[in-house]
Structure 1
Amino acid sequence: MIRGGFLDDESRQDLIELARDGSAAHRLARRANALVLLDAGMSCEVVAKVLLLDDDTIRTWYRLYLEDRVEGLASFGYEGGACRLSDRQQERLKLWIAGTLPRSTNEVGAWIARECGIEYQGRSGLVALLHRLGMEHRKPKVISRKLDPAKQAAFIKAYEDLLNQLPANEAVMFADAVHPTHAVRPVGCWAPKDVPVAVTQTSGRDRLNIHGAIDLETGKTRMLDVATVDAVSTIMLLMAIEALYPGKAMIHVFLDNARYHHAKLVQQWLAQPGQRIKLHFIPAYCPHLDAIERLWGLMHRHTTHNKCYAAFKEFKAAILGFLRETVPRDWHRFCDEVTDNFRIIDPADFRVLA
């Protein structure tokens, strides 16, 4: 704890004049102001709140002043709480973080107190320190244990080759099923600090079963509202796709390896004379290679995030209306979010947490 009254009269007057001097560098004047407030008996926490800083920064300024007076305050090579640790301590901290991947600043602060004997009173000081050390708080990406980079690369190459050689009388679509539940999805939003926000919730017992497809070139969609997603709904979707392109000689449909997509009933339908559909299956465990998955995310952002529909009928109309009407009509707005900009996900590129 820093006790007030540590300045003599002359030093106090010098700092007051420096704080009031409009020609002084703003950062230096603010540091002088902080020292005057501390000398008046205000705590580091209160001074930090007044100056919109963190309390560890105030303590550092106090230490700099004790060591080198005004020259210390003018040394802007020191920033925040990072300077409270020596270079060796910082390296040890970086190694410990890299080895343990702590989940909170509380864990980091506890380690610093235990190993270095330095107490960080505020979370903001720790966050600033971690950023200066090249650390950031991140959420692990969920990846399948069975991802095959070679199969992904082969699929992407085959897809790009197909597009590069696609005749004018052929089309490409991505197909999949989605099952949105009648429920609001709460997401973060900006709001006045003193206004609590909430969303009303529904039972979440009803859901839609949508079997759909999208053409990334035009934004055209076919979205079937079905009782069950199965082989029959797959055939219904393929028939709807053919009806969408009566003048096309061939429609290439990319889809995942769901069992109903491989069903004998589907194979028998495809084998009939005159069928213009050719199926291309995405590698297993690779939803990132199915562009329509990005459409489902877009759908939720526009229809279920922070939006509550009192009746299932309203929910259904909003979902299907967005997919059937809004997306094709406003494709110029959405085409950069629903793309075939595919990439390979290799587990070897990640540090997989145990």
Structure 2
Amino acid sequence: MASPSTKLSAGGMKAGKNQVKVAETTGSRPRLNRLGALNLHRTEDTVLREDPGINAENIAYFVGARRETDPLSQKIPIILDNAGYPWAECVKDIAYGRNIELHYLPPDSPNLNPIERLWKYMNEPVRNNVYFPDAQTFRETLRHFFHVMLPEKATELTTRLTDHFQILKPASSG
């Protein structure tokens, strides 16, 4: 998750020194580390956790805690990016012991991960061209998005946050 600073999504400058547009930004960039799990069938049930850092232990705890919302008899698929932490043995052990199936994305493929598409969607109304004077204001804005705005927009998101992908044949396969 990005730091709490203004994310400029469009820009331009008019000619002339009296027409310069200045965008306020924060002087510091404290990092907000969030782990998220998105239920594609119930977007409003997105699970988030903020941690002081992202490491194997925090990912293992998050994966294990994900089990609390579903019966043990139901296998839960979790899609993870290709960073090193999700591959740690402690993450795999927690998942195996709780009937959780881990799926690892190929390198450089964030658009295949539905939670990454949710982060991108969240940026549009929350971060793009918005000034946050401090990290606390940013955190409160994120909480409002996930607890108020996301449930209201869940139906709208069904076309953006899907697992419907088309498998393409390589051009060289004839």
Give the conservation status (yes or no) of the 8 Å contact 1:257–1:282: yes
Q: Aligned match of 1:340 in 150, 163, 167? A: 163
- Aligned-pair identity in percent equals 26
Unaligned 5+ residue runs, structure 2?
A: 12-18
Deviations 1:52-102 (A, max 9, x none): xxxxxxxxxxxxxxxxxxxxxxxxxxxxxxxxxxxxxxxxxxxxxxxxxxx
Local SS of the residue matching 1:330: helix
CA offsets 1:153-183 (integer angstroms, 9 cap, x no match): xxxxxxxxxxxxxxxxxxxxxxxxxx21111
Q: In structure 1, how many angstroms separate the alpha carbons of the residues matched to 2:170 and 2:28? A: 35
In structure 2, C-alpha distance between the alignment counterparts of 1:343 and 1:185, rounded to whole Å: 32
Q: 2:103 aligns with which of 263, 280, 291?
A: 280
In 2, the alpha carbon distance for the partners of 1:315 and 1:260 equals 26
Choose the corresponding residue for 2:10, options 171, 188, 209.
188
Question: Structure 2 length as normaliser, TM-score?
Answer: 0.80
Whichever of the two has the greater Rg, that structure is: 1
Given the alignment, which residue of 57, 62, 78 partners 1:232? 57
Aligned equivalents of 1:301, 1:343: Cα separation in 2: 26
Kindly report the root-mean-square deviation, in angstroms, between the aligned alpha carbons of the 2 structures.
2.7
* In 2: Cα distance, 1:324 partner to 1:344 partner: 35
**Maintained 8 Å contact 1:218/1:328:** no
Distance 2:107 2:94 in 1: 24
- The residue number in structure 1 matching 2:14 is none
1:292 aligns with 2:104: no
Q: Secondary structure at the match of 2:23?
A: coil
1:212 alignment partner in structure 2 = 36
Against the structure 1 CA distance between its residues 255 and 346, is the aligned structure 2 distance closer, same or farther, given a 3 Å change threshold? farther
Instruction: Report how far residue 345 of structure 1 moved.
Output: 7.8
1:64-213 alignment runs, 5 A limit: 179-188=1-10, 198-213=22-37
Distance 1:333 1:236, change over 3 A: same
| Greater fraction of residues in helix | 1
Give TM-score scaled by structure 1 length: 0.42
Which residue of the partner structure matches residue 310 of structure 1?
Answer: 133
Distance of aligned partners of 1:234 and 1:348 in 2 relative to their CA distance in 1, 3 Å threshold: same
SS of aligned partner of 1:211: strand
Higher normalized contact order (CA 8 Å, seq sep 6+, divided by chain length): 2
CA distance in 1, matches of 2:96, 2:73: 18
Between the aligned partners of 1:198 and 1:243, the Cα distance in structure 2 is 47
Aligned residues: 164
Match of 2:92 in 1: 267
Deviation at 1:216, TM superposition (A): 1.0
Per the alignment, do residues 338 and 271 of structure 1 end up closer, same or farther by CA in structure 2, a change over 3 Å counting? closer
1:111-164, Cα deviation, whole Å (9 max, x unpaired) = xxxxxxxxxxxxxxxxxxxxxxxxxxxxxxxxxxxxxxxxxxxxxxxxxxxxxx
